[in-house]
Amino acid sequence: MNLKIIKNANDHADALKRLDELFDLDPIEGSKESNELDVLALLIEQYEMEKFPIDKPTPIEAIKFRMDQQGLKAKDLVPYIGSAPKVSEVLNNKRSLSLSMIRKLNEGLGIPVDILIQDCDKLETYHDHLDYRQFPLVEIFNRGYLTSFAGNLNDLKEYASEHISDFLKKAGFNSSFQPMLARSSANLSGNSKECDAYARLIWQAQIIHKANGLNISDEYAVGTVTKEWMQEVAKLSWYQSGPQLAIEHLKKFGITVVLEKHLPKTYLDGAVCFHNGKPIIALTLRRDTIDNFWFTLMHELAHISLHFDQNEEWFLDDLEQTCDDPREDEANALAREVLIPNNIFYSYPHTDKGVSEMASHLRISPCIVAGRIRFEANNFRLFGQKFRDQTSKILKI
C-alpha cells in the first residue's frame, strides 16, 4: 500500500483494511511491513482525532473514574475535599471544586490539573502560586468588598483564590500579583514598619472599584494641577462644608477622590494613582481631623503635579513616618507652601485669636493653621480641644 495522508472516509476505510492485513501478518520488528504498520497506525490516529474528537471528562467524571480505579469510597476523599458533606456535594455537582481541593486531588490522586480545571482564568490563578489565605479575608468579608459574593465567611475562606483573584483582575490588576505586592511595598512612604502587603494590595483594588463606581465623566487635562490651582482648592477649606466642596470641585477636573478606611497593618493616610488616564486620590481619614484631611489631599495633589506622567504607578503614603524618597519631601514641601506660604508662617501665632486671624487672612480653615503650629512645635496639645474638627462628621460618614 502506498502510504498517504488520510483525507476522507474512503481513505480511512482502506487504511483500516490494510491495518488488519498487517496485524494478521504479525511482522518482525524493523521489517518493511512492521514500519508500514507503525506509520499507518499513526496516520489513522491523527485522522480519527480530527474527525472524531473525544471530549475531556468532566472533573467529577475524572474523580469517579479514579475512585473506581483505586477502589476508593466517598469517605476516602475527605482528606482532599474537606468533610463528608462537602464530598457528597462535590460528587453530586452541588459544590464546585476550590483551587485548594484541586491541588490536593492533583497531588494525592494524580488527576491532571487540566482535567480538574477547564476554565482558562481559573487555570491561570492556579499557576500564580499566591497564598490567597494571606489576604485579610475577615475584613474583606465584613466590609463587603466582594459585592457579588453571596456566601458566608467560611465559603470565602474555602474559595478565596477564585474570588480574590477575580476581584483583583476586575480592578485592572491583570499582571502577576507577586510583583505587584513587591512594587506596592517599594512605593510606600514611611515603610519602616512591617506592612501587610496583601492587605495593602486588596485595599488598592477596592480604591479602583470605588472610583469606577463613581463614574467620573469629566476628562483630566495634564498640567491642570499647579501650585496656584492647588491654592484655590485649599481656600475651599474656609467653608464648613469644605471637604465635600473640594471633592466635588476636583471631580469637575477629572480627579476622583475616594474615601476608604485603611486596613490593619497598612498604615496609610492616603494614596494616589492614575487609572485609565485619570488621577485617583484615596484618603483613609486615619487621623480624623480637618487639618489632616487638607494636608493629605494637598500632598496627593502635589504628587500629581510633580511626579506623575500618567503611568500606573502608585504613591502610598504614611504621613506619620519619615521617608528617604525625595519625592515625598517634595510633595510635603509643596503641600505646606500651598496651605500656608512660608513667608507668612515664619512667625506663627501662639494664641487662639492669632490662629483665627491668620486663617482669616489666608481664607483657610483655622484648623489648618493650628495643625501646622502643633506640627512645627511638636506639641499636639496646643490650643486644647479647639481647632480639632473631625472630617467624618462634616462628611457624615
Q: What rounded mean pLDDT belongs to the chain?
A: 90
Give percent of the chain with pLDDT exceeding 90. Answer: 66
Mean pLDDT value of segment 263-271? 95
Of 322, 319, 275, 321, nearest in space to 300 by CA: 319
Would you list the domain boundaries of the chain?
9-51, 59-127, 132-170, 180-200+209-339
pLDDT at position 308, please?
A: 87
Mean pLDDT value of segment 161-169? 92
Residue 184 has pLDDT above 60, yes or no: no
Residue 180 has pLDDT above 90, yes or no: no
Q: Give 230-256 pLDDT, tens digit per residue.
A: 999 999 999 999 999 999 999 999 999
Among 51-65, 116-130, 190-204, whose mean pLDDT is lowest?
Answer: 116-130
pLDDT at position 176, please?
A: 61
Phi, psi of 253 (to 5 degrees): -105, 15
Q: Give the integer Cα–Cα distance in Å for 202 and 192.
A: 20
Of 170, 187, 173, nearest in space to 128 by CA: 173
pLDDT at position 49, please?
A: 78
pLDDT at position 120, please?
A: 72
Q: How confident is the model at residue 310 (pLDDT cuts 50, 70, 90)?
A: low
Q: What share of the chain is helix, strand, coil (3-state, %, to 5)?
A: 60, 5, 35
CA 265 to chain centre: 17
Quickly count helices (H) and strands (E) in the chain: 21, 5
Residue 19 has pLDDT above 70, yes or no: yes
Of 43, 63, 59, nearest in space to 51 by CA: 43
Q: Give 316-346 pLDDT, tens digit per residue.
A: 999 988 888 899 999 999 999 999 999 998 8
Q: Give the integer Cα–Cα distance in Å for 270 and 20.
A: 77
Among 220-234, 239-253, 310-324, 347-361, whose mean pLDDT is lowest?
Answer: 310-324
* DSSP-derived pairing of the beta strands 278-283 and 256-259: parallel
Give me the amino acid identity at 199: A
Among 84-93, 140-149, 169-178, 212-221, whose mean pLDDT is lowest?
Answer: 169-178
Task: Pick 59-127's CATH classification: 3.40.1390.10, 1.10.260.40, 1.10.3720.10, 3.40.50.920.
Answer: 1.10.260.40
Give me the amino acid identity at 210: K
Answer whether 310's CB lies under 8 Å from 222's CB.
yes
Give percent of the chain with pLDDT exceeding 70. Answer: 93
CA atoms lying within 13 Å on the CB side of residue 259: 14
pLDDT at position 194, please?
A: 80
Q: How confident is the model at residue 36 (pLDDT cuts 50, 70, 90)?
A: confident
Q: How confident is the model at residue 186 (pLDDT cuts 50, 70, 90)?
A: very low
Answer whether 283's CB lies under 8 Å from 297's CB.
yes
Alpha helices by DSSP H, listed for 159-264, are 160-170, 177-186, 197-214, 227-234, 242-251
DSSP annotation of 57: P
